[in-house]
Structure formats: C-alpha cells, structure tokens
Chains A and B, each alone.
Chain A
Amino acid sequence: MATTSMATRPAVRAINVGVYYGSNKVIEGVTMDMPEHEITAIIGPSGAGKSTLLRCINRLNDLIEIFRMEGEMWFGDFNLYAPDSDPTQIRYRIGMVFQRPNPFPKSIYDNIAFGPRINGFKGKMDDLVEQSLQGAALWDEVKDRLKESALSLSGGQQQRLCIARALAVEPSVILMDEPCSALDPIATLAIEELMQELKKTYSIVIVTHNMQQAGRVSDKTAFLMPDENRVAHLIEFDDTRTMFTNPSDERTEAYITGRFG
C-alpha cells in the first residue's frame, strides 16, 4: 500500500471496516482510501463481500435488520456512521447503480425526475432531465420518446438510464455494483467509455467480477478474498497498473492470472 498516491484527498475512506450479519462476521479490517475523480475497482471471487463493502458506503446495508458495521467510513470530512448522520441524506450525496438495471415502471422522464422531486428540487426540471441524460450519453437515443416507458428501452439503455437517474440528484460519489454483468459486450463498452467521462466530475467506486474490466477502467484496485472461515479480507490495494503487472501478494497474482475464482 506504499504506492497509494497522497496527491489527491480521498472521496471515501474506510478505516478498519468490519461487517457482521447477526453474529456472523463477513468482512474484517478493511482500510482503504478511494480517491476523488478516480475509479476505484473492488475485485475478488464470489462471496468476498465486494457488494457488502460497497453498500456500506451509502448505508444501503442499513435496510437489513441484522447488519452491523464496526470501524469507520468517512465521506470527505463527514463521518458516515456517526450517531447523528442520516442514511437518507447520505444516499442523496452518494449515488448508486445496481447490478441489474432497475428502472422504475414510469416514463423515461419520470425516472430521471424521481430523485430531484423527492429531494425537493425547485429548478427547471426539463433542463435537469436533459443534462442528466446527456451526462449518461443517452440523450440522443431517447430525446424524442421521453414520455415512453423506461421498460421499453434495451438493457444497456436501461442501465445508462439508471446512471442518468443517479446523476440527476448531483451526487459527488457514484457506486456501481457490477453494472455490466447483465449487459452484452457492446453495451458494456458504452458504459466503460461513459465511466471515463464521469470520473472528471465524480468519484467512482465499482464492484466487478470481471478482472479485464477492472484492468481497463480503474485507477485503483482493491482485491478482497474470503479466508477459510468465509470472512473477507482486503488482500491488496494499489494502483491498478501496479497490481496487474507486479502484485505484491501471491494470492492476488494467483487470482489475477486466473488460477482460481
């Protein structure tokens, strides 16, 4: 972890994060800085707690009754798990895109306007909708059919709609939970190109089971792996290039070269 750049301050900082479901420990001792305006990838075999860790950042795990987190999670200067911090407010500042596109059964326009509306947006909605769809590189494809159902879009378009929906509430961090796993290669490429655009404005944390994707898109990579008790640990966290060319842990090397996973 010595090569972690100190030039940019972290958008999100995990300090000794551990996660329990009831009395079951699933993640232990994760400490990592996710830098601003960069893409941080979280990789690892299934059951390594990648999504769980990601959902700690916007406190979506709080929806699970038996969830408990120890350690600290910081969002800039804001302690996300301080007793007085409000998950609803946190999710307004930290957007999320899910594994399967989950557009609401409403029109394309209403999907984008949903977040701003519930958060009390007062400006010109039409402009915000256009701007968000442009931000997700979807505007040209849907500008003539904004009143049509979002469910009429293709899978790749739906996922970009979900990205646009997240952009519409103007978060500073976007979490992506395997955003391309349900998409074909062409739609995947479109999302990956979009991510390179988005990172100029936003900080991105992406979970992926696809190592090539992590290698292609991310600046930093975190490798998680469960031990024999199924408790996930952060094995290695480094610049993506360093990690993929010269991993310092032999388990990382074994995983990256495809010897397990």
Chain B
Amino acid sequence: MAAGIDGNYNQRLAHRKRRASLFYGVCVAAVILALLMLVALLYSVISEAVAWLNLDGTSIKTLLTEIPSSKAVNSGLFPAIVGTLWVMGICVFVSFTVGVSAAIYLEEYSGGSRLAELIQINIQNLAAVPSIVYGILGLSIFVVLFSMGKSTLAAGLTLALLIMPVVIVSSQEAIKAVPSSIREGGFALGGTRWQVIQRLVLPQAMPGILTGIILAVSRAMGEAAPLVIMGALSFVPFAPASPLDRFTVLPIQIYVWISKPQEEFHHLAAAGIVVLLIMLLGMNAFAIILRNRLQKNLRG
C-alpha cells in the first residue's frame, strides 16, 4: 500500500462509492420527475382534446379553417393560426438578423471596449425583464409612436425585442466557441475581417446560433401577455392578410376560450393547445434538421 494511505482505505472507498451511486440516483430521479410532469401535462391536454373531438359535429377541418363562433362545435382557429404565423415570421426574421449582427459586433468588432462591456451587461439584464414590460414598450413605441397600429408588425417586433437578449447571448457563445486558430488561418491568407466572419466564423457558429433561436422562438410563440397589452383582439372574424392588419394569436384565442363558462369551450381550448404544440414541434423539427445538416456539412 502506498505511503500515506492507512488501513481504512477500503472502508473509505466503499463510502465514496456509496456517495457516487447516491448522486447518480438523485440525477435519475430528477429526469424521471421532469418526464412525469411532461407526461401528466400531455395526458390532461390530449384527453380534453379527445373529449372535444367526441362532441357532436366537431371536425379537425372546422378547427383549422373556420373563424371563432359563439358555438364551440362551429369554432375554428384560422385567424389565430394565420396571426401566429405572421407574428412569428416577423419575430424570427428580425430577431435573427438584428440579434446575430449584434452578437457579431460584440464578439468580433468591439474589441472588448468599455462601451461594449456596458452593452453586454445591459443585454444580460434585459433578459430578466418580465414580458409584460415589453408589451408596454411595444404599445408606446411601435403602436403609438411609429403609428403601426395594433398590427402583426408591431407584435412581431415586440416579440423580437423580447427574445433579442437570449438570441444575442446564445449567438455570442456560439461565436466564441469558434477557435481563434481558424480566424488566424483566414487572416493569414489575406482575408478581410468580414470574409473571415462570413466564410469561417459564421458557418461554424451557425448550429449553436440556431439552437439559441429555437429555444427563444419557442418561448415567444407561447407568449400572450405582451400582445394583450399591445391590443391583440380577442375576437377576430378574419385572418390578417398583411403586416398592418389587426390580429389575434393562438395563446390569446386559447385563453379566451378557456375563460368561457361552457365546458365545450374548455375542450375546444385543449384542442387549440394541441394545435399550438404541433406548430411548435414542427418549427423546432425544421430548425433541428437544418442544424444537423449544417453540422454534417462542417464535418464533411
């Protein structure tokens, strides 16, 4: 036996191994707990939605293509689905372009100046601001000051602002993870800074950037509070056809139905939640496929 290790070694080893397996148990329990909650959530939503399907005269086609009605069985989500698509489209476009550009500036151009540090701290703090505050901001800036009205454009921009801090910070992390040897290699071949960023840094950072966007956009898609403040409608008999039209979105429509007294509307709301979940999953799946394809391209 090595010097300095006494006869109690074996006893202590057994103790250490017990602690190791205890910690393993805690981790597994945490995963199971999280999964159980998810399963419980899905079960309650889906069973309610099935109850809606079993009502007389309901159909999935009505749900997806009709406007809301005073009768649950005739009600549809069409305006809310189109509204959500408009708002999310604007939100994704703006938060991606502005957020990634800001991240590039902070990581590649600012050179760690005082000003950049100040901006950095503020961005991190913005991520903690409650979403309803962004609703007030959107109302006073986009709706009133810029006269966009209570439109999908104003809503998309507000949600873009809401998720911007998360997009910027996660994009920065992805850019930071690109080794500096790659940048040096690009510069040493006579590349300009933008060529190095565009052709070497961004392609390698893109999978990480997309991961951040997926998480942020998923959150924005379920937001109702800031849009209620901004004046999203609770009853919309038409689908928005341009970025300047009035609108509603899925979470708000679901909320409206759930707050009605009749039970059929509660079932209808559950069906709406399933539609929202499917749209979310579809969007995530698209982003994940895109990300995996990019990663594969990098590895060759």
| A-to-B contact residues, CB < 8 Å | 58, 60, 63, 65, 88-89, 91-93, 95-96, 98, 100, 102, 104-107, 114-115, 118-119, 147-152, 162, 165-166, 169
- Bound together, the chains give a CA A106 to CA B184 distance in angstroms of 16
The answer on a CB contact under 8 Å between B190 and A102 is no
The answer on a CB contact under 8 Å between A105 and B300 is yes
Sample (30) of A-B pairs whose CB atoms are under 8 Å apart: A58-B188, A60-B188, A63-B184, A63-B187, A65-B112, A88-B191, A91-B188, A95-B189, A96-B188, A98-B181, A98-B184, A100-B181, A102-B179, A104-B182, A104-B185, A104-B186, A105-B203, A105-B299, A105-B300, A114-B199, A115-B191, A118-B189, A118-B195, A147-B300, A149-B298, A149-B299, A151-B300, A166-B188, A166-B189, A169-B190
* B interface size (C-beta, 8 A): 23
- Bound together, the chains give a CA A100 to CA B182 distance in angstroms of 11
* A30 shortest CB reach to chain B, Å: 21
Chain A hits for B195, CB < 8 A: 118
Tell me which of B187, B192, B300 contacts A107 (CB under 8 A). B300
Chain B hits for A88, CB < 8 A: 190-192
Tell me which of A100, A147, A169 contacts B189 (CB under 8 A). A169
The answer on a CB contact under 8 Å between A118 and B187 is no
- Bound together, the chains give a CA A6 to CA B191 distance in angstroms of 35
Chain A hits for B261, CB < 8 A: none
- Bound together, the chains give a CA A104 to CA B112 distance in angstroms of 26
Chain A hits for B253, CB < 8 A: none
Instruction: Tell yes or no: B7 within 8 A of A by CB.
Output: no
The answer on a CB contact under 8 Å between A91 and B189 is yes
Interface centre among B112, B185, B203, B298 (most CB of A within 10 A): B185
Chain A hits for B279, CB < 8 A: none
* B37 shortest CB reach to chain A, Å: 39
Chain A hits for B300, CB < 8 A: 105-107, 147-152
Give residues 192-210 of B contacting A (CB, 8 Å). 192, 195, 199-200, 203-204
Chain B hits for A58, CB < 8 A: 188
Q: Is the interface of B mostly helix, strand, loop or mixed?
A: helix
- Bound together, the chains give a CA A102 to CA B186 distance in angstroms of 10
- Bound together, the chains give a CA A62 to CA B166 distance in angstroms of 32
* B187 shortest CB reach to chain A, Å: 6
Give residues 256-300 of B contacting A (CB, 8 Å). 298-300
Chain B hits for A60, CB < 8 A: 184, 187-188
Tell me which of B183, B188, B191 contacts A95 (CB under 8 A). B188
Chain A hits for B203, CB < 8 A: 105
The answer on a CB contact under 8 Å between B189 and A92 is yes
The answer on a CB contact under 8 Å between B204 and A118 is no
- Residues 172-184 of B, flagged 1 when their CB comes within 8 A of A and 0 if not, give 0000000101111
Instruction: Tell yes or no: B111 within 8 A of A by CB.
Output: yes
Given known A60-B188, A91-B188, A148-B300, contact A118–B181 (CB-CB < 8 A) = no
- Bound together, the chains give a CA A151 to CA B300 distance in angstroms of 8
Chain A hits for B185, CB < 8 A: 98, 102, 104, 162, 165
Given known A118-B195, A149-B300, contact A102–B182 (CB-CB < 8 A) = yes
Chain B hits for A147, CB < 8 A: 300
- Bound together, the chains give a CA A169 to CA B190 distance in angstroms of 9
Closest to A111 in B: B185
* B96 shortest CB reach to chain A, Å: 22
Tell me which of B112, B181, B204 contacts A102 (CB under 8 A). B181
Closest 7 CB pairs of A and B: A149-B300, A92-B190, A115-B189, A96-B188, A102-B181, A105-B298, A102-B185
* B4 shortest CB reach to chain A, Å: 34
Given known A65-B111, A118-B195, A118-B199, contact A91–B298 (CB-CB < 8 A) = no
Chain A hits for B299, CB < 8 A: 105, 149, 151
- Bound together, the chains give a CA A88 to CA B186 distance in angstroms of 10
Closest to A91 in B: B190
* B107 shortest CB reach to chain A, Å: 14
Chain A hits for B186, CB < 8 A: 104, 114, 118
Chain A hits for B188, CB < 8 A: 58, 60, 91, 95-96, 98, 166
Given known A91-B187, A98-B185, A115-B190, contact A105–B199 (CB-CB < 8 A) = no
| Given A118-B191, A118-B199, 14 new contacts (CB under 8 A) | A60-B184, A60-B188, A65-B112, A91-B187, A93-B190, A96-B188, A105-B204, A107-B300, A115-B191, A118-B192, A118-B195, A149-B298, A150-B300, A166-B189
- Bound together, the chains give a CA A91 to CA B189 distance in angstroms of 6
Chain B hits for A166, CB < 8 A: 188-189
Chain B hits for A118, CB < 8 A: 186, 189-192, 195, 199
